Structure 1
Amino acid sequence: MLLSPFERTIAKRYLLPGRGEAFIALVASISIGVVMLSVAMLVIVMSVMNGFRAELLDKIVGLNGHAIVQAYGGRLDDWENVLQEVRTTPGVTEASPLIEQPLLTTFNGRVEAILVRGNTMRDISDLSSNVVSGNISELQPGEGNVAIGSRLAQNIGARVGDTITIINPQGRSTPFGTVPRQIGYRVAAIFEVGIYDYDQAFVIMPMQDAQTLLLIGDTIGMIEVQVTDPDRVSEILAPVTRSLAGRAVVSDWKTINSTLFEALQVERVAMAFALSFMVLVAAFNILSSLVMLVRAKTRDIAIMRTMGATRKSLMKIFVTTGFTVGAIGTVAGLVLGFIVLFFREPIVAFIGLVTGQNLWDPQVRFLSTLPSRTDPVEIALIVGLALFLSFLATLYPAWKAASTDPVEVLRYE
């Protein structure tokens, strides 16, 4: 909508009310503030929820893959052939043998439930970026070294170089009954993946050491699978599922974490719907400020009409005025939202310090830090919604201004 010099001048004049119009300026400023806060709130909430889902998915997939082929009974015989079959399936990028077993560990009189994972050397080396102390490369078969999660290390008081004892209740049979198997392992590295449950329980060791600890020989418990498209994992692994029917079950990340991710999706949609009403409230503020402006400028409007201003010109002037208020608020909201997202960790820490409450408890939130991931498409939708509602809010006041009868207004002037 192009404006003539006359229309542009009047619109600019109405955007910057004079000294005698302080109340109109205040209402317009409140409208900008409401639009800014509503847009910022939408950007912050949606980015944090997207970040939470994406971070959780990345970390879960980073440890468990996109899918797991798990044998009935916990032992996958002839696993080399099964592994080769999975690797040759179209769409599969990587498949690795994996052993996972819940056991107990003890150190200095403290006992904790753990989840022992036996990984290939390649999978172990992939954890190097998550190591907070020690050297993950020291985890070599037969060396008796392990890597433990940071929360587990805190709970039992273990540090790099200490020796922890892992207890396997399924020990060797003796004339006096089954004796639990207890083996000491040196802590070579401490890692932190960022998911509280994993950092609290996981003990990583070479697969050969896990087989020795669990007395399972040359067998494994499951195969970890990575695919090209996580959203099509069920479709990609459908041939494997049919081939291994009766021998193993294929569980993808959607099935394993279905309750969690479905709850996140429902909450995300509900929050977006609820917060969108804030933008609607902001649009009503723009409408009210424009109505007040039209009432205050009724005499000016009548004079402009008598001087030749058309109804279309008046419509364009007031639509431009209101839309500019919405646009300024939208841009300011985007800037505020990105600033809050950038400083989100210090802000959470400050609020927690002031209120005395732990606002981000890793035991409840799964992740140790507040994540954020901005989706450009969602940002575009938020901006589009704010601008569209701002435009709609200008139509009625602009129509009222264009419908002003100069004869009636100036009759008694």
Structure 2
Amino acid sequence: MASPRPFSRYEFMIAWRYLRARRSEGGVSVMTWISLIGIALGVMALIATLAVRSGFRAEFIDTILGANAHSTVYMAPQRIENELTGDVYVVPGKIQDYDAMATVLAQIPGVTRTAPLVKGQVMATANDRSIGAEVFGVTLDSLKAMPRIVDPETSAGDLGEFDRGVAIGSGIARELNLGLGDMVRLVSPDGPNTPVGKSLRMKAYEVTYIFSAGRYEVDRSRIYMPMAEAQSYFNREGVADEIEVFVDDPERVHDWTGPLLSAAGQGAQVWNWRDASGSYLAALDMEDDVMFVILSVLVLIASMNITSGLIMLVKNKGRDIGILRTMGLTEGAILRVFFLCGAFTGVIGTIAGVILGVALALNVDNIMAGLNALTNGGAWQPEVRGIYRLPADLRAWDIFRAVALSLSLSFIVTIFPARRAARMNPVEALRYE
């Protein structure tokens, strides 16, 4: 007569019966319930943490790419020597024929858009208040192509009026108490030359647009000015400071560094968004790995309780094991029965953890809003975190990792007590019964 195949129906029935048995009948112990709850909470924490970390990274990168160029091309600084005094001055490089260079760079495969840019530092003043700001001189078409700047849900004003004023970040508007139609005075040290040196340049502009890029330092420090006006204001007539370059795959922006340098010619340099934020992104990746390891240890500790619960179950079911062995069950069948007891605990705990983790991740915005309300904004500070909200990004891969880890640990720790039950001598098990 052929032996039943492994994991037959009767093995599942016996294992499920032992799990459903009352404590007085030698069934599930308190340790098993503790392990089930511990696994559920561990998986929940792991899924929620991975989702929040993924969401934070995605929001962080989106705020960078939504308001900044993927790469910028600029010319190396130049050293100028005064023949009379022998003094050496280093002046920033300028791009003379910037329209032609922008056209050449735009022809590189994978480059989606290029735009010349003028930059300068100013002091913005209004209503007896002052704040340091950075002016970006851009064209209207270039400004419209920035999704985080022109988002109608977070901005105010009409971009059609941009050519007769400036666009300022919401942080500047808040600090200087400015609204649409108000005047902001910009003060720059790079003014006209005089016999005693350069003088300050001061000029007032109307606020025609207020944006919120979702990034604290951008909203609090950036002002957009029409390109022609910025050239006049910063003494950049006929030149540009940089060429902004946008590519079709920002994550692989380094692949375009070589082609951009070759196309821009001698003296050109390239700086991309990964160069600017690479160390922070690397720290985020390392923190993700560390958090995964720490939470994996918590799941392992919860899974170890399965071992304790199964050892107690094997001890209570010694008589049943002896009877089953005398009825013809093999050691392998007994091992599989008690393995299934532990596996059921791991599977049920994992399923509960996935449900709780997904629910927590989907409601993290509401939870953070409640915590901010209770702490008067202390739970999430944009000036420290850089972004205004803590989003969650549920990814199938993160859920799969959490489930695979939980089930693997649950199955592994179950093997030892299951083997102990399988090797129990039926004669010894029934001797005192």
The two structures have a TM-score, normalised by structure 1, of 0.93
| Cα separation, 1, equivalents of 2:430 and 2:152 | 77
1:61-95 deviation line (CA, Å, top 9, x unaligned): 22222211122315211112211121111221222
Name the structure 1 match of 2:261. 241
8 Å CA contact 1:70, 1:76 repeated in 2: yes
Residues 42-81 of structure 1 mapped to structure 2, 5 A cutoff: 42-72=46-76, 73-81=92-100
| Cα separation, 1, equivalents of 2:366 and 2:93 | 45
Q: Which runs of 5+ in 1 are unaligned?
A: none
- Which is richer in helix? 1
1:318-370 deviation line (CA, Å, top 9, x unaligned): 11121121111112111111211122123224345556771211111111111
Name the structure 1 match of 2:88. none
| Cα separation, 1, equivalents of 2:376 and 2:412 | 44
Residues 161-240 of structure 1 mapped to structure 2, 5 A cutoff: 161-174=181-194, 178-240=198-260
Name the structure 2 match of 1:406. 426
SS at match of 2:190: strand
Name the structure 2 match of 1:37. 41
Name the structure 1 match of 2:156. 134
1:125 aligns with 2:129: no
Name the structure 1 match of 2:327. 307
Classify 1:255/1:150 alpha carbon distance in 2 versus 1 (closer, same or farther; 3 Å). same
8 Å CA contact 2:365, 2:391 repeated in 1: no
How far off its partner does 1:220 sit?
1.4
Classify 1:236/1:205 alpha carbon distance in 2 versus 1 (closer, same or farther; 3 Å). same
Name the structure 1 match of 2:357. 337
8 Å CA contact 1:17, 1:25 repeated in 2: no
| Cα separation, 1, equivalents of 2:103 and 2:304 | 63
1:191-235 deviation line (CA, Å, top 9, x unaligned): 111111001111122222222222211221111112223333222
1:375 aligns with 2:379: no
Q: Figure out how many residues of one structure are paired with residues of the other and give that number.
A: 411
Amino acid at match of 1:129: D
Q: Which segment drifts farther, 360-369 or 206-215? A: 206-215
| Cα separation, 2, equivalents of 1:220 and 1:121 | 16
SS at match of 1:170: coil
Name the structure 2 match of 1:88. 107
| Cα separation, 1, equivalents of 2:373 and 2:140 | 43
| Cα separation, 1, equivalents of 2:219 and 2:362 | 26
How far off its partner does 1:111 sit?
0.5
How far off its partner does 1:132 sit?
3.0
| Cα separation, 2, equivalents of 1:103 and 1:280 | 56
Q: Percent identity?
A: 35
SS at match of 1:97: strand
Classify 1:239/1:177 alpha carbon distance in 2 versus 1 (closer, same or farther; 3 Å). closer
How far off its partner does 1:21 sit?
5.5
Name the structure 1 match of 2:79. none
8 Å CA contact 1:241, 1:249 repeated in 2: yes
How far off its partner does 1:237 sit?
2.9
| Cα separation, 1, equivalents of 2:386 and 2:162 | 30
Name the structure 1 match of 2:80. none
| Cα separation, 2, equivalents of 1:33 and 1:189 | 53
| Cα separation, 1, equivalents of 2:377 and 2:320 | 56
